[in-house]
Structure 1
Amino acid sequence: MAPRIGARQWEADGLGRIEIDPEVDRDDEDYLEAIQFTVDVEADASGEMLQAVVSRANALCHVHDAVREELHADVSIRGDAF
Structure 2
Amino acid sequence: MNDESLIDALLPAVKQQIESAETPYVKVTYTRLVEQEGLSPDEAVEAIALCLADETNRMYIDKRDFDQNRYQELLCTLPESLEE
Instruction: Give me the TM-score of the superposition, normalised by structure 2.
Output: 0.31
Whichever structure has more helix as a proportion of its residues is 2
Larger radius of gyration: 1
Q: Which has the higher contact order (CA 8 A, sep 6+)?
A: 1
